[in-house]
Chain A
Amino acid sequence: MSNSFIKKPKLNKQEKVQKEKPKDAKAVIKRLSRYLMEEKWKIILAILLTVIGNILALIGPMLSGYAIDAIEPGKGKVIFEKVFYYGSLMIILYVFSALFSYLLSIVMLHISQKVTRRMRDDVFTRLTELPVNFYDTRQAGDIISRISYDIDVISTSLSTDVVQIMASVITVIGSLIMMIMISPVMVFVMLVTIPLSILYTRYMSGRVRPLFSIRSEKLGNLNGFVEEMVSGQKTIRAYAREEVIQDKFDTINNEAIEAYYNADYYSSIVGPTVNFINNLSLSLVTVFGAVLFLLGDLSLGSISSFILYSRKFSGPINEAANIVSELQSAAAAAERVFKILDEEPEKTDAAEAKDLEVEKGKVILKDVTFGYLKDKTIVKNFNMEAKEGNLIAIVGPTGAGKTTIINLLMRFYDINSGNITIDGQNIGEVTRKSLRRAYSMVLQDTWVFHGTIFENIAYGKENATMEEVVEAAKAAKIHSYIKKLPNGYNTILDEDGINMSKGQKQLLTIARAMLMDSKILILDEATSNVDTRTEIQIQAAMRKLMEDKTCFVIAHRLSTIRNADLILVVNDGNVVEQGRHAELMDKKGFYYQMYSSQFV
Chain B
Amino acid sequence: MKHIFTYIKPYGLRMLLGFLIKVMGTFMDLGLPWVLAYIIDEVIPLKEIKYILLWGVLMLFLSIGAREFNITANRMASRVAGDTVKRLRHDLFQKIEQLSGAQVDYFSIPSLISRMTSDTYNIHQMVSMMQRLGVRAPIILVGGTILTFTLEPVLTLVLVGILPLLGITVYIVSKKGIPLYSKSQASADKMIRIVRENVNGIRVIKALSKSEHEKQRFKSSNEEVAGNELKAGATMAAINPVMNLLLNGGLTLVVIIGAYRVNSGASEVGKIVAFLSYFTMILNAMLMITRIFVSISKANASANRIFAVLNMEEDLKVCEELEEEKESDSHISFHDVTFSYPQEQEEKDEKDESTNVESISFQIKKGESLGIIGATGSGKTTLLNLLLRFYDIEKGAIYINGKNVKSFSLKNLRKKFGIVFQNDVIFADTIAGNIDFNRNITRDRIVEAAKDAQAADFIDQLKTKEKDGYEYAVAIKGANLSGGQKQRLLIARALAAKPEILVLDDSSSALDYKTDANLRIALRKHYQNTTTIMIAQRISSIMSMDHILVMEDGKMIGYGKHEELLNGCPVYSEIYQSQMGE
Are A598 and B517 in touch, CB under 8 angstroms?
Answer: yes
For the complex, is B19 an interface residue (Cβ under 8 Å from A)?
A: no
Is B514 within 8 A of A594, CB to CB? yes
Docked Cα-Cα span, A462 to B256, in Å, equals 74
Query: Which 9 residue pairs of A and B lie closest in terms of their CB atoms, listed nearest first?
Result: A531-B375, A398-B484, A531-B376, A232-B425, A287-B56, A283-B59, A105-B237, A268-B74, A279-B63
**Contact across chains for A436 and B60 when beta carbons are under 8 A apart:** no
User: Does B264 make an interface contact (CB < 8 A)?
Assistant: yes
Q: Which residues of A contact B417 (CB under 8 A)?
A: 238-239
Tell me if B300 counts as interface (CB < 8 A to partner A): no
Interface assignment of A19: CB less than 8 Å from any CB of chain B: no
Q: By CB atoms of chain A within 10 A, which of B59, B188, B348 has the most?
A: B59
Check B208–A530 contact: CB distance below 8 A: no
List 18 additional contacts besides A253-B90, A311-B280; criterion CB under 8 Å.
A6-B72, A6-B79, A68-B269, A71-B258, A87-B256, A101-B241, A237-B410, A264-B128, A283-B60, A290-B43, A290-B52, A291-B49, A396-B512, A398-B482, A412-B206, A436-B208, A536-B578, A594-B513
Map CB proximity to A onto B559-582 as digits: 1 under 8 Å, 0 otherwise. 000000000000100110011111
Interface size of A in residues (CB-CB distance below 8 Å): 162
Smallest CB separation, B552 vs chain A (Å): 8
A377 within 8 A of B: no
A109 on the B face (CB < 8 A): yes
Is there a chain B Cβ closer than 8 Å to A480's Cβ?
A: no
Query: Are B388's CB and A460's CB within 8 A?
Result: no
A531 to B518, Cβ gap below 8 A? Answer: no
List chain B residues, Cβ under 8 A from A282. 32, 36, 59
Chain A minimum-CB-distance residue to B521: A600
Of the 9-residue stretches B196-204, B320-328, B329-337, which lies at the interface with chain A? Answer: B196-204
A76 located at the interface, meaning its Cβ lies under 8 Å from any Cβ of chain B in the complex: yes
- Is there an interface contact between B197 and A102, defined as CB atoms closer than 8 Å? no
Chain B residues near A528: list those with CB within 8 A. Answer: 506, 509-510, 537
A230-B109, A291-B52 known; A132-B206 Cβ under 8 A: yes
Determine whether B427 belongs to the interface, using a CB cutoff of 8 Å to chain A: yes
| 14 residue pairs A–B, Cβ–Cβ below 8 Å | A6-B75, A76-B265, A90-B255, A127-B198, A224-B428, A226-B117, A227-B113, A231-B109, A235-B421, A239-B439, A244-B438, A300-B270, A436-B208, A598-B517
Cβ–Cβ < 8 Å partners of A227 in chain B: 113, 117
CB of A283 within 8 A of CB of B75, answer no
**A135→B245 contact, CB < 8 A:** no
B259 & A71 in contact (Cβ 8 Å cutoff): yes
In the bound complex, residues from chain B placing their C-beta under 8 Å from that of A117 are: 222-223, 225-226
Q: A558, B580: Cβ atoms under 8 Å?
A: yes
Q: What's the nearest-Cβ distance from chain A to residue B43, in Å?
A: 7
Q: Does A381 sit at the interface, judged by CB under 8 A? A: no
**Complex Cα–Cα for A439 and B209 (A):** 11
Say which residue of B59, B76, B208, B280 sits within 8 Å of A6 (CB atoms): B76
Q: Is A529's CB within 8 Å of the partner chain B?
A: yes
Q: Considering the complex, which residues of chain B in the window 41-65 have a beta carbon less than 8 Å from any beta carbon of chain A? A: 43-44, 47, 49, 52-53, 55-56, 59-60, 62-64
What's the least CB distance linking B453 to chain A, in Å?
A: 14
Which of A174-182, A206-214, A443-451 lies at the interface?
Answer: A443-451
Per DSSP, are chain A's interface residues mostly helix, strand or loop, or mixed? helix
Given A90-B248, A109-B230, A598-B517, residue A257 in contact with residue B82 (CB < 8 A) = yes
**A140-B196 contact given A275-B70, A398-B484, CB 8 Å threshold:** yes
**Neighbouring B residues of A143 by C-beta, 8 Å:** 195, 199
Please tell me which one of the listed residues A495, A496, A530 contacts residue B537 in the complex, with CB atoms under 8 A apart.
A530
> A21-29, A92-100, A482-490: which lies at the B interface?
A92-100
Within 8 A of A (CB), among B193-237: 193-211, 214-215, 218-219, 222-223, 225-226, 229-230, 233-234, 237
Bound form: Cα–Cα A433–B211 in Å: 10
- Asked whether A287 lies within 8 Å of B222 as measured between CB atoms, the reply is no
Whether B186 is near chain A, meaning CB under 8 Å from some CB there, is no
Indicate if the CB atoms of A98 and B262 lie closer than 8 Å: no
Beta-carbon contact of B200 and A83 below 8 Å: no
Interface residues of A in 1-16 (CB under 8 A from B): 1, 3, 5-7
Given A87-B256, A239-B414, A279-B59, decide whether A257 and B425 contact each other with a Cβ distance below 8 A: no
- Cβ contact within 8 Å between B79 and A5: yes
Q: Is B345 an interface residue (CB 8 A)?
A: no
Query: A417 near B: Cβ within 8 Å?
Result: no
With A290-B39, A397-B515 as given contacts, are A68 and B218 in contact (CB-CB < 8 Å)? no
The total of chain B residues at the interface (CB under 8 A) is 176
Say whether A465 faces chain B, with CB atoms less than 8 Å apart: no
Q: Does B121 contact A (CB under 8 A)?
A: yes
How far is A410 from B203 in the complex, measured between Cα atoms in Å?
Answer: 10
Tell me the smallest distance from the CB of A185 to a CB of chain B, in Å: 15
Cα A298 to Cα B515 in complex, Å, equals 95
**A226-B93, A498-B348 given as contacts; is B199 within 8 A of A307 (CB)?**
no
**Partner among B218, B269, B390 whose Cβ is within 8 Å of the Cβ of A124:** B218
Interface residue? B170 (CB, 8 A) = no
Whether the pair A75, B264 counts as a contact (CB closer than 8 A) is yes
**Cβ distance A15 to chain B, nearest Cβ, rounded Å:** 18
B422 within 8 A of A: yes
B276 at the interface (CB under 8 A from A): yes
Closest A residue to B514 by beta carbon equals A597
Contacts of B376 in A (CB 8 A): 501-503, 529-531, 534
Q: Are A113 and B226 in contact (CB under 8 A)?
A: yes
- Which residues of chain A (263-296) have a CB below 8 Å from chain B? 264-265, 268-269, 271-273, 275-276, 279-280, 282-284, 286-287, 290-291, 293-294
Interface membership of B94, Cβ < 8 A: yes
Looking at the complex, which one of B128, B207, B424 makes contact with A436 (CB distance below 8 Å)?
A: B207
Q: Is the CB of B56 within 8 A of A230?
A: no
Of the listed stretches B96-104, B155-163, B174-182, B526-534, name the one at the interface; the rest are far from the partner chain: B96-104
The smallest beta-carbon distance between B261 and chain A, in angstroms, is 9
- List, in ascending order, chain A residues with CB within 8 A of B280's CB: 311
- A94 CA / B243 CA spacing, docked (Å): 11
Residue B315 at the chain A interface, CB threshold 8 Å: no
B473: chain A residues within 8 A (beta carbon) = none
A78 interface hit (Cβ, 8 Å): yes
A397–B259 CB distance below 8 A: no
Q: A233-B96, A443-B203 are known contacts. Are A268 and B512 too (CB-CB below 8 A)?
A: no
Query: Which residues on A sit within 8 Å (CB–CB) of B414?
Result: 237-240
In the complex where A91-B252, A287-B52 touch, is A113 in contact with B229 (Cβ < 8 A)?
A: yes
Of chain A, the residue at the smallest CB distance from B232 is A109
Q: Is B297 an interface residue (CB 8 A)?
A: no
Measured CA separation A269–B575 after assembly (Å)? 73
Please, which residues of chain B bring their CB within 8 A of the CB of A97?
244-245, 248
In the complex the two chains form, what is the Cα distance from A559 to B513 in whole Å?
A: 14
Q: Considering the complex, give the chain B residue whose CB is closest to the CB of A1.
A: B68
| Given contact pairs A76-B263, A238-B417, A539 touches B67 in the complex (Cβ within 8 A) | no
Query: Is the pair B276, A304 in contact by a Cβ cutoff of 8 Å?
Result: yes
By the criterion CB–CB under 8 Å, are B514 and A294 in contact?
A: no
With a CB–CB cut-off of 8 A, which chain B residues contact A129? 211
Closest to A445 in B: B200
Query: Which A residues are CB-close (under 8 A) to B49?
Result: 291, 294
- Asked if residues A597 and B75 are in contact (CB atoms below 8 Å), the reply is no
Q: Tell me the residues in window 487-539 of chain A with beta carbons closer than 8 Å to chain B beta carbons.
A: 495-496, 498, 501-503, 516, 527-536, 539
Contact A98 B476 (CB under 8 A): no
Beyond A279-B32, A398-B483, A398-B511, is A121–B44 a contact (Cβ under 8 Å)? no
| A74→B276 CA distance, assembly (Å) | 18
Q: Indicate if the CB atoms of B121 and A219 lie closer than 8 Å.
A: yes
A496 to B193, CA, bound (A): 11
Determine the distance from Cα of A78 to Cα of B433 in the docked complex, in whole angstroms.
85
CB-CB < 8 A to A599: which residues of B?
A: 517, 540
- Chain B's closest residue to A462 (CB) is B213
- Which of B85, B237, B439 is within 8 Å of A109, CB to CB? B237
Q: Is the C-beta of A50 less than 8 angstroms from some C-beta in chain B? A: no
Does A64 touch B at the CB level, under 8 Å?
yes
- Minimum CB–CB distance for B558 against chain A, Å: 12
What is the distance, in angstroms, from A542's C-beta to the closest C-beta of chain B? 12
